[in-house]
């Protein structure tokens, strides 16, 4: 298996595991107060203004759409829907953060691979100079 295929497979596996864990998590009750939506909105803004937004654009799109739906639910007084969306958004934020971390680790791995390749080339040059 090539390093690129391994990296892709690892990324897909991590995302599948995270999706499975989030999907199988026991339902928790989120207490919705007047400030819950505004706190959630601030959490989303913090993520949008971080490196996470660049690393996980698809997740950010889902988060933004769900935040708009949560805003509608709040306006309609649908506390149950607001709680459900709040929980999903917080899970999506965690997935986006994990995606960013995976991307960072992949970048580090690629840099190490490049360093190793350069070291091998240098070693071959030195070996060719030996009598």
For the stretch 10-59, pLDDT in tens is 777 787 787 777 666 555 567 788 788 889 999 999 999 998 888 889 99
Report helix angle 79-129 to 57-76, nearest 10.
Answer: 170
b/e map of 87-101 (b: 16 or more CB within 10 Å)?
bbbebbbebbbbbbe
Q: Where are the domains of the chain?
A: 34-129
pTM: 0.66
Which residues fall within 8 angstroms of residue 66, CB to CB, at 6 or more apart? 85, 88, 89, 92
Distances (CA, A) of 68 to 8, 46, 95, 110: 32, 16, 19, 38
Confidence (pLDDT) at 28: 56
Confidence (pLDDT) at 62: 93
d(CA 49, CA 115): 32
Q: End-to-end CA distance of the chain: give it in Å, rounded.
A: 36
**The two structure tokens encoding residue 68:** 């708009």
Confidence (pLDDT) at 19: 76
Number of residues written out for the chain: 131
Please choose, from the candidates 32, 50, 40, the residue with its C-alpha nearest in 3D space to the C-alpha of residue 90.
40
């Amino acid at each position: 298996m090539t390093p690129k295929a391994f990296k892709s497979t690892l990324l897909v596996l991590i995302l599948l595991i995270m999706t499975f864990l989030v999907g199988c998590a026991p339902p928790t009750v989120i207490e919705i107060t007047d400030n819950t939506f505004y706190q959630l909105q601030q959490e989303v803004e913090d993520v949008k203004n971080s490196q996470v937004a660049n690393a996980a654009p698809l997740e950010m799109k889902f988060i933004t759409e769900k935040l708009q739906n949560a805003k509608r639910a709040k306006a309609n007084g649908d506390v149950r829907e607001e709680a459900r969306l709040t929980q999903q958004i917080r899970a999506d934020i965690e997935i986006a953060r994990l995606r960013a971390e995976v991307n960072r680790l992949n970048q580090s791995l690629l840099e190490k691979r490049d360093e190793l390749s350069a070291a091998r080339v240098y070693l071959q040059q030195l070996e060719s100079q030996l009598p």
